[in-house]
Structure formats: structure tokens, C-alpha cells
Amino acid sequence: MSGTSIEIDAGDFFFDPTCLTTSSPGRITVTVTNTGNALHNLTVEEQGIDEDVQVGESITVKVQVGATGSVPFLCKYHVGSGMQGAFVAG
């Protein structure tokens, strides 16, 4: 995926997609839709983002992506099941 606006599905128990590449560094708008049957969450620890996503609902947050490295994200409820990913500037 690329651009300044990104959409992620939060299913049981995965994010789709998990590696998201933006077109350039900067602030991106991320919309997460819970398509699963359990409460999910989007956490970007290094930026203080911690938002729950109720079943069938969506949240929108702003994430800062730098020119180098990646910005990891996770579901704090299901990270043990591998529910995590990263944003990378392309």
C-alpha cells in the first residue's frame, strides 16, 4: 500500500496488510476496521497511540513515519497471536 491514507482490516487474529509502505515520510492517516468477532486495538507505542476498535466499527489515527526505519504497530490484546505489523516510508 502507498499514499498518505491507509486502510487496515483487523480480523481474528490478524491485521491485513501487516507491512504498509507510504509514498514518502510524514504524517499518514490510518483507518482500522474491525472485521472480526473480538475487540481489537491499534497501538503504536512510540507515538502514544492506543485505540480500541469495537466489532464492526472503524477508528482513524494519524501516524508519523520517518525517512528511515519502521514504525511498529500491534493489537495489545492479541500481539501474542502475532497481531502486529509496521509502517515503512518508501
Q: Where are the domains of the chain?
A: 5-89
pTM for this predicted structure: 0.92
**pLDDT tens digits for 42-79?**
999 999 999 999 999 999 999 999 998 899 999 999 99
- In 3D, which of 5, 17, 75 has the Cα closest to residue 43? 75
- In the predicted model, what is the mean pLDDT of the chain? 94
The domain 5-89: what is its CATH number? 2.60.40.420
What distance in Å separates the CA atoms of residue 86 and residue 4, rounded to the nearest whole number?
15
What pairs with residue 22 in β-bridges? 89
